Amino acid sequence: MSFDLVIRNGRLVDAAGESTGDIGVSERRIAAVGTELGTAAREIDAAGAYVMPGGVDSHVHLGQLSSKGDMTADDFWTGSRSAAFGGTTTVVPFAAQHRGTSIRAVVDDAMERAAAEMTIDYGMHLIVTDWRDPAPTEFATVAAAGLAAAKIYLTYDRLKVAGNQAIELMQAAGAAGLAVMVHAEDDAIVGWGRDARVAAGRLGADSHAHSHSRGAEWSGVAQAIALAEAAGASLYLAHISTPQAIDLVRAARERGVDVVAETCPHYLILDEAAYGDPIETAAPYMCSPPLRGPAERTGLLAQLAAGDIAVVASDHSPYTMDQKLPHGPATAFTEAANGLPGAELRLALLYTAAVAAGPLAMSDFVRLVAANPAQVCGMYPRKGSLQVGADADLVIWDESAWTVRWTDLHDNVGYTPYEGMQLRGRAGMVVARGDVIVDGAAATLRPGRGAFVPRD
């Protein structure tokens, strides 16, 4: 048999384990996995290098208006381009409802822009902020279009969905067969901490961390689990920053609740000490939940190795320094745009922290960055696997060390919180549905080449 593409002699690794051999690609899918496969129009020698499924980033904010009115610095084109250079071949951004808008209209608008702009394949989540008519009646048809998950916030005045509305939405999502992603921080604790600091005139970045406390996350996670348990829903907890929250997830799973947890590379690498700096230095590190300390990083790494955390996503939330600091050094912590960019560095950061210098095997790495995110979004094994029949989304992994410079990255943010950091490992070559889209620093990328991947 002759193939369109054969990658030879790789250390083939997916979530199931590792073997040495070739991958043959025909008509954009993996057609054979074995040794000494037949000839191909294009042959690539991967001897000695890991060949893994392309990354699946199940949590990115692209072309999205925040509740404060900030448009993300990356749209679907620049964000998907940046993710591709980092070894991600599928991203899942959000169609975001703002109060008073129709979920049908926000999904249609996001899908139209994504089709025109995405350079890699994509799914779509829906953020629901207003669960009053017509949202409940529109939801079933919107979900049937193949949404990956519905996301709600338990905090933020202009986003939160609470109480009965949250339970009803979770029931509707369960009926439609999709998970509910929750931003789980306790609104009362966050609001109380914020108001106390504002009243005291303490407007620095440390007050952001103070209000988005560890306890706010623990209470938010407990609430989200209780709501999902009541509704019988599948729960996907976004951006967990503390091991104690993961302990709550494990206990819930042990009693049969359908819940998975996500963490992000920034919680494994960066430190809350950044918030001690003046806001103009601290702003790039401000995200919710905030960065934590060494005890949390050690605990989360152990929980990754134990399998208690299902997904490592980027929560790519790209804002420029002008958006971070609308009033320059006089910006209050309540005014700074929240979130860190990270889609392009996601794989390299996790590999550095948890594989090269940590407890994870390469198959764990693939499970966390590709197989499980695909599973949670209803895309597995089409995405996130090396199975015959899967989309030919492949990464040849380069294990060498390198230094991060924002000028070498491909996002639109203008800085990286990881500037100057030495990392181990990066995507050397990226294949997306059979096309070599990245080869070292060179790329063949264009807006509109990505295709929508509906939830199966």
Write out the two tokens for 298: 């050690």
Query: Which listed option, Zn ion, ligand URP, none, makes contact with residue 237 (CB within 5 to 8 Å by class)?
Result: none
Interface with ligand URP (CB under 6 A), residue from 93, 146, 339, 425: 339
Closest to Zn ion by CB, 120 or 238:
238
Q: Which of 219, 234, 338, 416 binds ligand URP (CB under 6 A)?
A: 338
**CA dihedral sign, ordered 112, 115, 116, 119:** positive
315: contact with Zn ion by CB under 5 A:
yes
Q: How far is the CB of 241 from Zn ion (least distance, A)?
A: 11
| Residues of span 224-253 touching Zn ion by CB under 5 A | 238
Instruction: Please give the structure tokens belonging to residue 14.
Output: 């997916």
Burial class of residue 61 (count of CB atoms within 10 Å of its CB; 0-12, 13-18, 19+): buried
User: Is 426 an interacting residue with respect to ligand URP (CB under 6 A)?
Assistant: no
Residue 338 interface partner, choices Zn ion, ligand URP, none, CB cut-off 5-8 Å depending on type:
ligand URP
423 phi/psi in degrees, rounded to 5: -115, 160
Position among 11, 29, 61, 367 found at the interface with ligand URP (CB under 6 A): 61
Identity at 101, one-letter amino acid code = T
- Looking at residue 13, its amino acid is V
- Tell me whether residue 239 or residue 382 sits nearer to Zn ion (CB atom): 239
Among the listed ranges 108-116, 157-165, 177-185, 443-451, the one in contact with Zn ion (CB under 5 A) is: 177-185
Closest to Zn ion by CB, 127 vs 409, is 127
Q: Which is nearer to ligand URP, 9 or 412 (CB)?
A: 412
Pairing of strands 55-57, 88-91: parallel
Which of 187, 217, 262, 315 touches ligand URP by CB under 6 A? Answer: 315
**What residue 395 binds from Zn ion, ligand URP, none (CB within 5 to 8 A, per partner kind)?**
none
Question: 369 φ, ψ to 5°?
Answer: -100, -10
Tell me which of Zn ion, ligand URP, none is bound by residue 211, counting a contact when its beta carbon lies within the kind-specific cut-off of 5 to 8 angstroms.
Answer: none
Q: Which does residue 433 bind out of ligand URP, Zn ion, none, counting CB within 5 to 8 angstroms by kind?
A: none
CA distance to 185, 264, 302, 417, per residue, from 296 (Å): 17, 12, 10, 19
Which member of 160, 183, 194, 324 binds Zn ion (CB under 5 A)?
183
Query: Is 342 a residue that touches ligand URP (CB under 6 A)?
Result: no
**What are the tokens at 297?**
């990083």
Site string for ligand URP, 210-239 (x = CB under 6 A): ----------------------------xx
User: Would you state the structure tokens that stand for residue 190, as one six-digit string?
Assistant: 């966050």
Determine which helix (DSSP H) or strand (DSSP E) holds 194, and give its type and residue range: helix 187-199
CA angle (81, 85, 89) in 5-degree steps:
75
- Separation CA 89–CA 119 (nearest Å): 9
Which partner in Zn ion, ligand URP, none is near 287 (CB below 5 to 8 A by kind)?
A: ligand URP
Q: Which is nearer to ligand URP, 288 or 372 (CB)?
A: 288
Q: Cβ atoms within 10 A of the Cβ of 116, count? A: 12
| Strands of the sheet with 121-122, listed across from one edge | 55-57, 88-91, 121-122
Residue sitting closest to ligand URP (CB): 339
Helices 214-231, 163-176: crossing angle, 10 deg rounding: 60
Give the length of the chain.
456
Q: Which residues bind Zn ion (CB under 5 A)?
A: 183, 238, 315
Q: Which parts of this chain interact with ligand URP (CB under 6 A)?
A: 61, 183, 238-239, 287-288, 315, 317, 338-339
